[in-house]
Amino acid sequence: DIQMTQSPSSLSTSVGDRVTITCRASQSISSYLNWYQQKPGKAPKLLIYAASSLQSGVPSRFSGSGSGTDFTLTISSLQPEDFATYYCQQSYSTPFTFGPGTKVDIK
């Protein structure tokens, strides 16, 4: 199985800040990487697919980059509704494993 790691595991930040979350795969996964946002008590929501493609309806302040083993999710200017947990997922080979998550909360 491909193992996914994320850093940091949590971060405290403020509205308007730029936020960067890193995801690393245990082997090369090309650009087969998705990002999801999950708020408490809710199902996850797809933000980014294929490492850098923005899902329809997702604000442009979210962006993704990377290929191979190292990826980043960037929120250019954090909004109040962005406080949530973010997960990466590799879609290179089954099982399509998720990262452990990064919780973004209010400083």
Binding residues for another protein, rule: CB under 8 A, are 1, 32, 34, 36, 38, 43-46, 49-50, 53, 55, 85, 87, 89, 91, 94-101
Burial class (CB in 10 A: 0-12, 13-18, 19+), 41: exposed
Vertex 103: Cα angle to 97 and 107 (nearest 5):
165
Report, in Å, the least distance between residue 27 CB and another protein: 16
Report, in Å, the least distance between residue 63 CB and another protein: 17
49/62 with CB nearer another protein: 49
Q: What letter does residue 76 receive in the DSSP assignment? A: S
2/17 with CB nearer another protein: 2
